[in-house]
Structure 1
Amino acid sequence: MTDRSIIDWPAWTDSPPGRYVLDWEQTQLDRVVSDVFGYHALQLGLPQLDALRENRMPCRGLVLDAASGASAPYAFPRGPGQAGNRHGNGSSHGAGHDATQGAFAGLPAPAGRSTVWCDLLDLPFEAQSVDLIVMPHTLEFTSDPHRLLREAERVLMPEGQLIILGFNSLSLWGARQSVGKMTGRPFVPESVDLIAFTRLKDWIKLLGFDLERGRFGCYRPPLGSEQWLSRYGFMEAAGDRWWPIFGATYMIKAIKRVRGMRLVGPLKVKKPVLAAGLSPAATPNTRNPTQ
């Protein structure tokens, strides 16, 4: 592996370990998103992965910022608040409902997807307007993962689904990345901030999500050549059975829950008001004067 392949993310995804990871993630996403239904679906970042190709929602969008979209060959930003197509035409997007409608009508992307250029920490969509959000390694590259998760929770509809993919810090890959950062030779791009699976579960639970499923994968050692990665192919089945939580990557699928309101404190019951001149026929404290 060259120095460039461990520093530059687009080049790394084109390297043997990068293709190995993306192939596993693409397979998992194709299986999961095919059963998610609704009207709007979004993929945030990582244009090298087509996370929504097996999804059948009518409006599917690829949301990119300047950093994540630098290697997208099919789209480019036209300016602040604008989206241009391959022929150079642009259209501006407003706020609120108009932004949601305009954003999904942006640039053409592969397989009929629309491309939306914006700040990922300030998504131009209405609250509770999206049915599915996929974030492939997006949290690891953002400067504020908590804020990005809050934005995802805001735009998701009740019972909407959130899918997150990332590198597992509790793995051989995570250990090599930690050592590599100290020695100046990280295995995955240095800008990637690995987020522990357990910490991520706590974050999404605090935002009101229910974890529906989690899966680990990529059990081969962190090796840079195709030949050596192929030699350790037997570790896929063994790792999935004997040490599943130590896979190099993970995928989390969570559902946004909106709980009903609960009354806090004692319930005060207002006594009925009687008409003038009337009294109740009997009360629990009424005594018979003859007794």
Structure 2
Amino acid sequence: MSIQGLEAWLETPAGRYVLDWEQKKHDLLVTNVFGFNAVQLSLPRHDFLRTNRMPLRFRCDDGRYAGSAEILADLHYLPFATNSLDLVVLPHTLEFDAYPHRVLREVERVLVPEGQVIITGFNPLSLWGLKRKTTRQKTAPPWRGNYLSVPRLKDWLTLLGFEMQTGAFGCYAPAVTQEKWLHRFRFMEAAGDRWWPIAGAVYIVQAVKRQHGMRLIMPAWQDRKARAKALVSVARKVEKADQ
């Protein structure tokens, strides 16, 4: 279930079809998330935080793509302090990890109260999900992932104290590999949004970390600035340790 190989697949016609949709959605969502520290976990060659305006934005990976990530770390044990991040982006991270619960628990730990997480994934209840079940190439990307449905993901997030904010499905064309066929099926985008909106090949969801029963007192600006500087120090130490 390794995510290794998905980066290369995203350069194929089908991969670019998915990537274009996901990049546009990320660009819209992360623009209005404010704070000091934002981190993207996995797929470091693609910047899903590019339109975010936080002063510190990092791409974190486990080291399989040397030179692409600013921070190298085990995603099950993130090198960030508890309640230190304002935004975490998970592009297909959970479905290609053997222990997605651990990753999500770590995300909950490092996010500040009212911090946000944005998750993308392949939808098992779609034409692509059907292709995954019937294909003989089950070890090839993107089919080897453990696709998570949105209801299941919502249950996981709720158990960890997250509240769903928004979400969307996209990419309604069949799982074809050639550019000409993807172009011919473009008419299904508008039809899918109208007639079968939950059957898109991929989805994106945005959730907020809530702490019910707790009065949220935001730290002073200077305190948060100091915390941001501390995060830079941690990142530099991690980079030096990996060199």
Scaled to the shorter chain, the TM-score interval is: 0.7 to 0.9
1:125 to 74, 80, 101: 80
Q: Relative to 1, partners in 2 of residues 1:55 and 1:256: Cα closer, same or farther, differing over 3 Å?
A: same
Where do 1:219-258 residues align within 5 Å?
219-258=172-211
For 1:211 and 1:194, locate their aligned partners in 2 and report how far apart those are by CA, in whole Å: 19
| Percent of paired sites with the same residue | 53
Aligned-residue offset at 1:10: 2.7
Contact (CA 8 Å) 1:123, 1:151: kept in 2 or not?
yes
Alignment coverage as a number of residue pairs: 211
| Bigger radius of gyration | 1
SS at match of 1:138: coil
For 1:22 and 1:11, locate their aligned partners in 2 and report how far apart those are by CA, in whole Å: 12
RMSD: 1.6
Where do 1:164-243 residues align within 5 Å?
164-180=119-135, 183-184=136-137, 188-243=141-196
2:54 to 57, 63, 67: 57
Aligned-residue offset at 1:160: 0.3
Q: What one-letter code is carried by the residue in structure 1 that aligns with 2:35?
A: G
1:12 to 9, 14, 25: 9
Match of 1:140 in 2: 95
For 2:5 and 2:212, locate their aligned partners in 1 and report how far apart those are by CA, in whole Å: 43
Match of 2:42 in 1: 45
TM-score, length of structure 2 as denominator length: 0.83
Greater RCO, CA 8 A, separation 6+: 2
TM-score, length of structure 1 as denominator length: 0.70
Where do 1:49-88 residues align within 5 Å?
49-67=46-64, 70=65, 74-75=67-68
For 2:140 and 2:174, locate their aligned partners in 1 and report how far apart those are by CA, in whole Å: 11
Structure 2: 5+ residue stretches without partners: 215-243
Structure 1: 5+ residue stretches without partners: 1-6, 76-108, 110-114, 262-291
Contact (CA 8 Å) 1:43, 1:62: kept in 2 or not?
yes
Match of 2:23 in 1: 26
